[in-house]
Chains A and B, each alone.
Chain A
Amino acid sequence: MDPRRKRKLRLFVALSAAVLLAGALVYTSFSASTQAKQPSDLLAGAEQGRSYELTGKVVKDSVDKDGDRLTFRIRDRDGRESLPVTYAGVVPDPFREGREVIVSGQLEQGTFVAERDSLITKCPSKFTEDEQST
């Protein structure tokens, strides 16, 4: 084969491999992703049995501990609508009422049942100001 055709062929093979891999990347990421929702979004309509990522603020005086099971309510970042959450697993150190948290799980009969260890708390650097503002 003459070298120029060989180079072209090589380029073609490389490009199609790249396109294929990119396609695989897009496909796997969309099928593996979980949608991030605020409580009001889920209240407006959530598919049963589908995983969501719930974000929002922990409602004041809603945190209750029963053994290693934690229950609390999460409300919209800038709103009043809220959802009850039950959670088990490790609670991050900065977890507090009024803090912004992210938790993954499913909605079951009006309660958000979180996956084990899925709780993430956003870490405020000016944490004292944050506490006063709640």
Chain B
Amino acid sequence: MEYVLAVILLAVLVAAVVLRPLVWGVGDDTAGSASREELEAAKEAKYREIRDAQLDLEMGKLSEDDYRAVDRELRAEAIEILKGLDALEGKSPEA
């Protein structure tokens, strides 16, 4: 008896939590920001790489020539990401 009651009670509770977005909708809370977050993450990773290469140069693990080549490439990629972010900001006013 206790078991059946508990099953029903828990099932109702779970259903209330789970079905909420289906009934009430999710709104537009996350629209647009998804790809923004991804770009932000990519940007951060790229920045880390630039700083990493810099550190490698300082520590003598990368020759001056190699560093310049790597750094140029990384910065070009970072700028692509920044452009993407700018484009997003231009479109979505909330950002």
Please tell me whether chains A and B touch each other in their complex, using a CB distance cut-off of 8 A: no
Interface residues of chain A, those whose CB is within 8 Å of chain B, are none
Interface residues of chain B, those whose CB is within 8 Å of chain A, are none
